[in-house]
Every structure is written in C-alpha cells, then in structure tokens.
C-alpha cells in the first residue's frame, strides 16, 4: 500500500494476556518507529529500527515490551502479561533514511489497545 | 533532555480567520522540527518539516517557522476552514537521535 499499515485497528483483551501488534511500513523505508499515545497524553517514543536492528530501545517501559523487525519490512510489537496501564493507541511510523536525518516520519492510523 | 510544549491547548475560531499555533522546545540543539495534524481516531499526517538550517517552510495555506535561539516554532494557518479542525502536534528531533519528542498538541475547531 501507499502508506503505513497497522493491524489490528482495535484490540480488546483481558489483563494478563499477551498481545501482538503489527506494522507494515512504506515500501523502501529503512527506518521504523513505534510510539504510544495514552489518553490525554502526548506521544511517547518506544523503539526505533534501522533495517532489522534496534539501535534505540530506550522508550520501552518494561521488559514486558519487546519488538522485532524482519526483512527490513514488517515489525511486531509484543506486550506480555498486559496491564491496564498498557491501554493506549500504539502508533507506528516509517521514514526514508538515506544517511541524513531530515526525512519526515509517516504514521499509520494506530492500534487502539484496551485492557479490561 | 528535550521537552516540547504547545500553547494553546485548545482553540476555537470562526471560518476565515488567520491563526497561529505555538510550539516551544527546551533544547536548542534541535536537528529538525515536524508539524502534524491528527484527526479523531486517526494517525498523524505530516504537514511540514523544518530543518535546523531553515527558518520557515510553506505548504499551501500553512507556514511554519523555526527560531532555534528562542526555542520556538509557530504554525500559521491562513484563511482557516472547517476542514482544518483537528489536533495539531509539533515534534522535535535532536542531534544524534532518531526519535521525535512530541508536544501535547493544540485542539483546533473552526466553525462555519
């Protein structure tokens, strides 16, 4: 597709369950980012991928959160043993990284995660 | 540590008005600043990106400026329309990092 695609668009699950969120970046974009937007708060950075490597994981809030990227394309964000405070919209972005850092980030519509 | 603040938090104006949204950042070592709009239930749409070497960027009715010395960026919207109603977010990227630091946004409503 032409834009960043995220699935599912909505996810409701019980506390304690594991969830996987998927992001398909724009074709050819080597950089991929995950952010979280909790209700009434700004976007928080979670993790950044360049290719399949994650040089910056500093935003992951706990060891229950992990992410991977394969084929320099699809990325999966996994949250284990979900807690109610994990409820948020999880946004993925990608950018064309050609050696400079002045490329805009393009965002998907997000996954709205609700923990009961 | 970079912190980004947006004022006002909410703004309601009649159609046709010119308006200015403000964004302040604490770390002047900013590499670029990006403005986005977010519609309810949607992701972010990139509007403008200003590089640290630039002072302003324009796209249609939108003009964004960047003043590193004062730690400020403004988004100017000319001749506002109801379709401009959305939340506007600014985000700064500092040197030697790839992540964006976001402000909490300005919720804009333009009424007919």
pLDDT, tens digit (0-9, with 9 covering 90-100), for B14-67: 999 999 999 999 988 888 899 999 998 888 999 999 988 889 999 999 999 999
Asked if the C-beta of B92 comes within 8 angstroms of chain A's C-beta atoms, the answer is no
- Chain A nearest C-alpha distance from B44 (Å): 5
User: Which is more confident, B96 or B6?
Assistant: B6
- Which of A43, A59, A103, A113 should one mutate to test binding to chain B, selecting the residue with the greatest count of B CBs within 10 A? A43
Q: What is the DSSP string of B21-86?
A: EEEEES-S-EEEEEEEEE-TTS-EEEEEEEETT-SEEEETTEEEEEETTTTEEEEEE-S--GGG-E
Task: Categorise residue B84: left if φ over 0, alpha if ψ from -120 to 50, beta otherwise.
Answer: alpha
- The stretch B89-105 carries a mean pLDDT of 89
DSSP A25: P
Q: Are strands B106-111 and B10-14 parallel, antiparallel or unpaired?
A: parallel
Task: Report the mean per-residue pLDDT for chain B.
Answer: 92
Burial readout A46-75 (b: 16 or more C-beta within 10 A, e: otherwise)? bbbbeeeebebeebbeeeebebebeebbeb
Give the 3-state secondary structure of residue A85. Answer: helix
- Chain B nearest C-alpha distance from A16 (Å): 26
Q: What is the DSSP string of A28-77?
A: T--EEEEEEE-TTS-EEEEEEEETTEEEE-TT--STTEEEEE-TTS-EEE
**Residue A67: predicted pLDDT:** 97
**Residue A103: predicted pLDDT:** 83
Residue window 1-60, chain B: list those with CB within 8 Å of chain A.
4, 31-32, 34, 36, 41-46, 49, 51
pLDDT tens digit at each of 116 positions of chain A: 579 999 999 999 999 999 999 999 999 999 999 999 998 888 999 999 999 999 999 999 999 999 999 998 999 999 999 999 999 999 999 998 755 567 889 999 999 999 99
Asked if the C-beta of A96 comes within 8 angstroms of chain B's C-beta atoms, the answer is no
| B85 vs B111: CA distance, rounded Å | 8
**Residue B42: predicted pLDDT:** 85
| B72 vs A38: CA distance, rounded Å | 25
**B chain contacts of residue A48, beta-carbon cutoff 8 Å:** 98-99
B92 has pLDDT over 80: yes
**A chain contacts of residue B101, beta-carbon cutoff 8 Å:** 45
């Amino acid at each position: 597709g032409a834009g960043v695609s995220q699935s599912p668009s909505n996810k409701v699950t019980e506390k304690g369950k594991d969830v996987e969120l998927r992001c398909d970046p724009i074709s050819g974009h080597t950089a991929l980012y995950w952010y979280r937007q909790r209700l009434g708060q700004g976007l928080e950075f979670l993790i950044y991928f360049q290719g399949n490597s994650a040089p910056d994981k500093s935003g992951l809030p706990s060891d229950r959160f992990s992410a991977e990227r394969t084929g320099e394309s699809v990325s999966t964000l996994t949250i284990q043993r979900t807690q109610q405070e994990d409820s948020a919209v999880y946004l993925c972005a990608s950018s064309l990284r050609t050696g400079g850092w002045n490329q805009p980030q393009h965002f998907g519509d997000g996954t709205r995660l609700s923990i009961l | 540590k970079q912190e980004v603040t947006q004022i006002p938090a909410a703004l309601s104006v009649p159609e046709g008005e010119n308006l200015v949204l403000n964004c302040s950042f604490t770390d002047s070592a900013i590499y670029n600043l990006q403005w986005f709009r977010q519609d309810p239930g949607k992701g972010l749409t990139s509007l403008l990106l200003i590089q640290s070497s630039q002072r302003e960027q324009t796209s249609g009715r939108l003009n964004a400026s960047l003043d590193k010395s004062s730690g400020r960026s403004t988004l100017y919207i000319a001749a506002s329309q109801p379709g401009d109603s959305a939340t506007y977010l600014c985000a700064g990227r500092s040197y030697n990092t790839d992540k964006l630091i976001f402000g909490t946004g300005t919720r804009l409503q333009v009424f007919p």
